[in-house]
A and B are shown apart, each in its own frame.
Chain A
Amino acid sequence: MIMFSNLFSIGTKLDSRQRLTMSVFSFLLPLLIWSLVSYVPFIWHPKVEIYTAGDVSYFNKGLLIDREIFDREVEAAIKESKAIPEGVPANPVYLPAPHEVATALYTAFTTEPKRRNEKWLHESLWDSIQVIFWGFVISSFFGVPLGILAGTYDVFSKLFEPFIEFFRYLPAPAFGALAVAVLGIYDAPKIAIIFIGTFFQQVLVVSNTTRKLDPALLEAAMTLGAKRMSLLFRVVVPGIITHLYKDLRLLLGWAWTYLIVAELIGTSSGITWFITQQARYKNFDNVFAAIIIIGIIGLTTDIILAAIGRKIFPWEKGQAKS
């Protein structure tokens, strides 16, 4: 409450404690809304869960029914002096309550797979992480050098970028069937989809970042005797590396968005296989749990990468300031 009005002064940065509080709130707020919708009976709850069927023939204990139908049957029962059905307001099956998802989060890791050839959740996750990793590494292996070249030399920019601009509009999933035909049904086509989804954006993002390097630094280096290769490797690359690192963190996030599509290609596998399987059995608590796990993995990776960045680029802090 102290200096509440200060929080809203334009152009001022919060102190570190306020920032942490706000970050916690940014997670608590959606959780609060979810809890309200789940636990407060008069908010939403469009269904009724039957616990006494009464004389209504098609009602069973535990059945979820639209509230309108329930109300109609209750009215009819009163009119005809039959046994009145009873129930409590409920949400549809696709919106499990927070505690159910929390339980699922735990049990998903402890429950043995139903069939022997199926995988544990953590094994599925590990498969997904490997697909993402290889797709992203292969994309960066080609995309980063190409982007730097295109950003540094106009000739490469004009040679690569028009085609890449064209290709990046082609949706990666469209290449699914082709990827399977060429690369088989296992992990290779999945990695290819992530590659296609990442690579073309990556070249353009990296070349754009490279172009933003202060040309005065190149001029200074030239007056100090730097020539072609040393300009590229001793000035351009270190000059953009902090921004490049941030680009890659961002692009890694995009790579995750292609994962779900990639994993549906060929043999379903990984976290997507888990999600579709659970959705089929209407175990939406497990579906939510799996989605949350993806979020946690993504966020954790990014936080770790950011911390590593601060460690290996000690000059970055000052660069951001000036």
Chain B
Amino acid sequence: MNQLKLPSYLDQSEAVKDRFDRMKKRPVTLQVKNLNKVFDTPQGKVTALKDINFETYKREFVCVIGPSGCGKSTLIRILAGLETQSSGDVLLDGVAVNGPGPDRGMVFQGYTLFPWLSVKDNVMFGLEMSGHSKATSEEQAFQWIDLVGLGKFAKSYPHQLSGGMKQRVAIARALANQPRILLMDEPFGALDAQSRAKMQSYLHEIWKNIDVTILFITHDLDEAVFLADRVLVLKANPGEVQEVIEVPVPHPRSPEQLLEPEFLATRKRLEDLIHPPEPDVGINEDHLNMVRMVRVDNEVESVF
């Protein structure tokens, strides 16, 4: 097989380097300092997150990626305030967060739309919770619904929508509160490949046009490289930051870039970090112990 000659994922073009320099001069939106999370289980203490440190800049798009069990969901739930850390700080615009609140919007993998509310009322929910009048909430809700392209479905109930549409409503609902940061926990994980690609493009469009920082959890390497400015790579047992990768793929992103050298180089780096080559110790559990179970006179002698 031809080994494709890839550049290093650390090589950045002038434009990309310049953009990162400018980005790092922006104010920090979210800062995570020495974050630890230990679960008490019947089997003893389990360290889910160990000494996590990172920050996101204003209007940055950060993806968090890692093998299963690396605590990425625990991390985002702590950031959302749905779980409490064992030690360490989460600062939003320099202020420690305490419990869930509308300044941190969250989009879950399982949509979590309120089934008893229409699309419009779902989007209005957060606005009404933060004390807006019904009229203002309604007016703003329509703007957000239009933004995600669901104007025609404002009166529909969630069960009448497709998965992708539901997730767009969930995004609109979270954005309606104008959060400082949008936390997304594998939001497109339940979608088929085609809708997922479409949703990724939508999300980028929305992100470009709105003043919001996005922290996006995924286990899909392509998704991470395609969406992110920087990718936070976690490793499992215990969950630690392994590397923060600055994605050298220039903006605006398009699906054609999936085959470009910078993209492939970054993807390969992620692949190596998350699925490191296993040391050959003789016994390979993954090897199937197969014997030939086809009759000798089978019409198809070999599948090759």
Contacts and interface: CB of A to CB of B under 8 A. Distances in A.
A277 to B, nearest CB: 49
Interface string B78-110: 001110000000000000000111101110101
A227 to B, nearest CB: 8
Interface stretch (B112-120, B139-147, B246-254): B112-120
A235 B114 contact: yes
Nearest to A223: B106
B116 A315 contact: yes
B5 to A, nearest CB: 46
Contacts of A238: 114, 116-117
Nearest to B126: A224
B190 to A, nearest CB: 12
Interface string B271-298: 0000000000000000000000000000
Contact of A221 (B105, B115, B125, B157): B125
A234 B114 CA distance: 10
Contacts of A40: none
Contact of A224 (B157, B160, B173): B173
A165 interface: no
B213 interface: no
A313 B99 CA distance: 33
Interface string A117-137: 000000000000000000000
Interface string A219-247: 11111111100100011001101100000
A224 B125 contact: yes
A322 interface: yes
Most buried by B among A220, A227, A239: A220
Contacts of B125: 221, 224, 226, 234
Most buried by B among A216, A217, A225: A225
Interface in B123-150: 125-126, 129-130
B106 A315 contact: no
Contacts of A314: 157
A225 B130 contact: yes
B19 interface: no
B82 A223 contact: yes
B158 A223 contact: no
Nearest to B129: A225
Contacts of A226: 125, 129
Interface in A184-231: 214, 216-217, 219-227, 230
B112 A219 contact: yes
Nearest to A313: B116
Given A223-B100, A225-B126, A225-B130, A239 B116 contact: yes
A234 to B, nearest CB: 7
A223 B114 contact: no
B177 interface: yes
Nearest to A226: B129
B105 to A, nearest CB: 7
A319 interface: yes
Contact of B160 (A219, A222, A318): A318
B35 to A, nearest CB: 19
Which applies to chain A's interface (DSSP): helix, strand, loop or mixed?
helix
A223 B116 contact: no
A321 interface: yes
B129 A318 contact: no
A223 B108 CA distance: 11
Most buried by B among A217, A224, A226, A322: A224
B112 A318 contact: no
B116 A318 contact: no
A222 B100 contact: yes
A241 B117 CA distance: 13
Given A216-B108, A234-B125, A225 B101 contact: yes
Nearest to A227: B129
B186 to A, nearest CB: 13
Contacts of A216: 108, 110, 112
A314 B117 CA distance: 10
A132 B256 CA distance: 70
B75 interface: no
A119 B155 CA distance: 53
Contacts of A319: 115, 159
A249 B117 CA distance: 23
Contacts of A220: 106, 108, 112-114
A311 interface: no
Interface in B158-180: 158-160, 173-174, 177
A307 B25 CA distance: 62
A317 B159 contact: yes
Given A217-B114, A319-B115, A224 B102 contact: yes
A225 B159 contact: no
Given A235-B114, A322-B159, A230 B129 contact: yes
Interface of A: 214, 216-217, 219-227, 230, 234-235, 238-239, 241-242, 313-315, 317-319, 321-322
Interface of B: 80-82, 99-102, 104-106, 108, 110, 112-117, 125-126, 129-130, 157-160, 173-174, 177, 183
21 contacts: A216-B110, A217-B114, A219-B82, A219-B112, A220-B106, A221-B125, A222-B81, A223-B100, A223-B104, A223-B105, A224-B102, A224-B105, A224-B129, A225-B101, A225-B130, A227-B129, A234-B129, A238-B116, A315-B159, A318-B157, A318-B159
The 5 closest A-B pairs by CB, nearest first: A318-B159, A225-B102, A224-B126, A220-B112, A222-B100
Given A223-B81, A319-B115, 8 more contacts: A216-B108, A219-B106, A220-B108, A224-B105, A224-B126, A227-B129, A242-B116, A313-B116
